[in-house]
Structure 1
Amino acid sequence: MRIRLARWAVVAALGAGTGAFTAAPASGRPDAPPVGSAPASTNFHPAALQGSLDDVHRAGVPGVFAEVRNDGRTWRGASGVADVATGRPVRADMRHRVGSITKTFTAAAVLQQVERGRIRLDEPVGDHLPDVVPGERGRKITVRMLLHNTSGIPDYLPYAFPSLRGFPDRLDVSTRSLDDNRFRTFRPAELIDMGLSAPPAGEPGGSTGVYSNTNWLILGELLERVTGMPAEEYITRNVIERAGLRHTEFPTGTHVEGPHPRMYESFYGLIDPPRDYSVYDMSWVGTAAALVSTMDDLNRFYARLLAGDIVSRASLDEMKRTVPARALDGSPIQYGLGLHRFDLPCGTFWGHDGTVWGAGTMALSSADGTRQMAVAVNLMRWNEPDASGKPQPHPIDGAMRAFTLRALCGTAPTVPDPLP
């Protein structure tokens, strides 16, 4: 899901430099265990990584945890608490709701079916799902358009969560829908119909995509139709298990199984103090954003994907062909087939970010898989708006940028980085 106004992802060139790092314990902390070994580097130190992670916690995030990989060496770290009431510390190996990172898994599953000849990227989705996307829309919208978010189908979220409709133009919105839907089970067809019934976000095949979770529920229905099994089952067997992931799954209930942090939602200051939404029925996002995973599993997945082990090299090339798109907050992104492109001072990285209520995650990898970062936070939508509804800068934004540059480029910005 992407329903935030201020992206916590790194989107601008903030510095330059590359570096390797050792895998010694970070500040001697038990929550950042050493993995492997490497000689000391003048550019990248475990203490610097831990210090940057601590800065994110000090800036206001209750708990943050990450795994960074560089040339076969791995560093894991955590800072802060998993539970603000008990003070239980957050750990680097915790499971987390990873939101729209799920989309890369779904896209890989669709590309596998393209390789088997059961789906063609440029065929109308109505050829397979005339009952789901009927009429002219089904004839115009192709599978590729769904994956690229250029279908013109808007997001269903404002209709599934009606009390949020109108934000940020209206500052008097209610967050009641978040609680109303906590234990509600949505059917994919119900959510898809909400998106199809809303005013179109654009013409099918437009030059600029409009990010929409509706596309990804339709892709889940497509997978089920061509494979004869639930999309979540197919993705589990052919993507998650194929990548060798041990802690990644679609939840079957409202709880996250295994050690995990509580997940606190602020919704731009409308929920004060932030409320825990770690217990939630994730049917509201399904194949768009429901996965639970660990930072280790996410790095493993993107390494295998970018190595051509999950889909063929030809399919991977298709996934990396980006188009300009707009996120739900209106910010520009470069979006492929379930992959984001991020251009940093030290090179181009591929991956995805994701949020659901109270949980944020980002996973980025260099094209050759040698530099990777996966990081999670247990607070979301921390930027409070001013009287006009514009979200204001927050120290968390700069701290997250600094950690990402430390992790992937071996450096950090030397001057403050205001939000655009």
Structure 2
Amino acid sequence: MNDERTHPLHVPLNSAALNAALENVHRAGVPGLFAEVRDGEHTWRGAAGVADLATGRPVTADLKHRIGSVTKTFTAAAVLQLVDSGRIDLDAPVGHHLPDLVPGLPGDTITVRMLINHSSGLAEYLPYVYPSLKGMPVVTATGPESLEEHRFTRFDPTELIELGVAAPAFSPPGAAPGLYSNTNYLLMAALIERVTGTPAEQHITQHVIERAGLRHTEFPTGPHIDGPHSRLYESWFGMIDPPRDFSVFDMSYAGPSASLISTVADLNRFYAQLMAGDIVSPAALAQMQQTVRIISQEGKPIDYGLGMYPMRAPGRETFWGHGGTVWGAGTLAMIRADGGRQLAVAFNLQRWQRPGPSGGLEPHPVDDALAALYDQAMYG
């Protein structure tokens, strides 16, 4: 059995440097953030800044947090378990299971795999739910008004799926690049329910969250976060000034695509078990790491696997994981390909950049500070 301390890639955790990197992100403009880095048997946890701007309550590393699209890895793992058991075929047309939701030619052409890796070509439903966001990814064509209007709206997932399926497709099924679309993951949730007869949130909880032994990870049952947590501040590219607290929000608009609540410790535990083959089979894990080219929500080309994607610095080791953003909350969780080192970080401000005169986003000190934190956490 390899001792991580002798691994050729091993760089010891530097607590002072990690604390300084965390503090630099706070000083750059994020009210509060917290993180956990694991390296073999060694663990560092840290926090910087405040959880509540009004009271000055400090953030701590054990707070619960809305993890946004990091949820997608959990949902993908649940589907891959059903693939392992022979109940779902990755390359079967999704219309065989969900003819009512994806009828006709799309249902006969789009496969389960295409849903998980976002190569289905299906449109994103969010701009149709939040009309003031319809200009994305062109920031200056958007506004934050819909966020407040729908703070307590309870959406029906079938209606959200119908919006995405009925909208003009981004590309033909399987064509590259595909489009990162939450429509895909609401369809996967519907697929889980159709195959198992159990609501997707319940199935994912029983077969992924509980299987991994996560005690602080849960789907929300209402607009509030139960337990100690930070307030979540949304700037919407400077259009909300000062940033507004959106920690109380009905997450039915995202469901099993992006609504989970967790902690940084639970996220590291989950990804460690996933990469060790304890959540899905080694064969399924290998499938998860086969990537295709897609366009991200920010309009940038990225490589994407089945519910997770690779992250790497040039000439350095690859990490696998997922990022997540919801209104006011950001999260990133990643683990080195060999499972030896991992990071989970959560921060309570979103969309801090502001549009420049050319229409693009101006560089912000937070971006450089976060990049330095990631570099220190991953590579030492």
- Settle same-fold status: TM greater than 0.5: yes
**1:369 corresponds to 2:360:** no
Q: Give me the whole-angstrom Cα distance separating, in 2, the residues matched to 1:167 and 1:290.
A: 21
CA offset digits 1:182-208 (Å, max 9, x no partner): 100111111111111211110001132
Aligned twin of 1:325? 294
Aligned residue identity for 1:226: V
CA offset digits 1:38-93 (Å, max 9, x no partner): xxxxxx42011000000000000000100000121000000000000100000001
Task: Report if the CA contact (8 A) 2:127-2:133 is conserved.
Answer: yes
Q: Give me the whole-angstrom Cα distance separating, in 1, the residues matched to 2:120 and 2:137.
A: 25
Aligned twin of 2:208? 239
CA offset digits 1:12-37 (Å, max 9, x no partner): xxxxx96533xxxxxxxxxxxxxxxx
Task: Report if the CA contact (8 A) 2:272-2:335 is conserved.
Answer: yes
Task: Report if the CA contact (8 A) 1:18-1:408 is conserved.
Answer: no
State how 1:353-364 maps to structure 2 within 5 Å: 353-364=323-334
Task: Report if the CA contact (8 A) 2:289-2:306 is conserved.
Answer: yes
Judging changes above 3 Å, is the alpha-carbon distance between structure 1 residues 403 and 18 closer, same or farther for their aligned structure 2 residues?
farther
Q: Give me the whole-angstrom Cα distance separating, in 2, the residues matched to 1:78 and 1:99.
A: 20
Task: Report if the CA contact (8 A) 2:317-2:337 is conserved.
Answer: no
TM-score, length of structure 1 as denominator length: 0.87
Aligned twin of 2:350? 380
Task: Report if the CA contact (8 A) 2:119-2:178 is conserved.
Answer: yes
Aligned residue identity for 1:262: R
Aligned residue identity for 1:186: F
CA offset digits 1:276-306 (Å, max 9, x no partner): 0000100000010000000000000000000
For residue 169 of structure 1, report the CA deviation from its aligned partner: 4.2
For residue 387 of structure 1, report the CA deviation from its aligned partner: 2.8
Q: Give me the whole-angstrom Cα distance separating, in 2, the residues matched to 1:167 and 1:302.
A: 31
Deviates most, 340-349 or 353-362: 340-349
Gap runs ≥5 in structure 1:
1-16, 22-43, 411-420
Aligned twin of 1:20? 11
Divergent runs of 4+, >2 A: 17-21, 167-174
Q: Secondary structure at the match of 2:352?
A: coil
For residue 346 of structure 1, report the CA deviation from its aligned partner: 3.1
Q: Give me the whole-angstrom Cα distance separating, in 2, the residues matched to 1:170 and 1:350.
A: 28
Q: Give me the whole-angstrom Cα distance separating, in 2, the residues matched to 1:232 and 1:341.
A: 26
The number of residue pairs the alignment matches comes to: 372
For residue 170 of structure 1, report the CA deviation from its aligned partner: 6.8
Match of residue 32, structure 2, among 63, 70, 75: 63
Judging changes above 3 Å, is the alpha-carbon distance between structure 1 residues 368 and 167 closer, same or farther for their aligned structure 2 residues?
closer
Match of residue 322, structure 2, among 335, 339, 352: 352
Judging changes above 3 Å, is the alpha-carbon distance between structure 1 residues 20 and 169 closer, same or farther for their aligned structure 2 residues?
closer
Judging changes above 3 Å, is the alpha-carbon distance between structure 1 residues 292 and 361 closer, same or farther for their aligned structure 2 residues?
same
For residue 388 of structure 1, report the CA deviation from its aligned partner: 3.1
Aligned residue identity for 1:299: N
Q: Give me the whole-angstrom Cα distance separating, in 1, the residues matched to 2:343 and 2:219.
A: 22
Q: Give me the whole-angstrom Cα distance separating, in 1, the residues matched to 2:137 and 2:176.
A: 26
State how 1:81-230 maps to structure 2 within 5 Å: 81-167=50-136, 169=138, 171=140, 173-230=142-199
Aligned residue identity for 2:97: H
Aligned residue identity for 1:334: D
**1:406 corresponds to 2:376:** yes
Aligned residue identity for 2:375: L
Identity %: 59
Aligned residue identity for 1:88: R
Task: Report if the CA contact (8 A) 1:72-1:370 is conserved.
Answer: no
Judging changes above 3 Å, is the alpha-carbon distance between structure 1 residues 115 and 169 closer, same or farther for their aligned structure 2 residues?
closer
Task: Report if the CA contact (8 A) 1:251-1:290 is conserved.
Answer: yes
TM-score, length of structure 2 as denominator length: 0.96
Aligned residue identity for 1:107: A
Aligned twin of 2:304? 335
Task: Report if the CA contact (8 A) 1:18-1:346 is conserved.
Answer: no
Aligned twin of 2:19? 50
Q: Secondary structure at the match of 2:323?
A: strand
CA offset digits 1:89-125 (Å, max 9, x no partner): 0000100000000000000000111111111000000
Deviates most, 238-247 or 337-346: 337-346
**1:310 corresponds to 2:264:** no
Q: Give me the whole-angstrom Cα distance separating, in 2, the residues matched to 1:126 and 1:168.
A: 30
State how 1:4-15 maps to structure 2 within 5 Å: none
Task: Report if the CA contact (8 A) 1:65-1:377 is conserved.
Answer: yes
Task: Report if the CA contact (8 A) 2:212-2:273 is conserved.
Answer: yes
Aligned twin of 1:254? 223
Q: Give me the whole-angstrom Cα distance separating, in 2, the residues matched to 1:377 and 1:104.
A: 19
RMSD, aligned α-carbons: 1.3
Q: Secondary structure at the match of 2:239?
A: coil
Aligned residue identity for 2:316: C
Gap runs ≥5 in structure 2:
1-7
Q: Secondary structure at the match of 2:318?
A: strand
Task: Report if the CA contact (8 A) 1:210-1:327 is conserved.
Answer: yes
Deviates most, 322-331 or 277-286: 322-331
State how 1:284-303 maps to structure 2 within 5 Å: 284-303=253-272
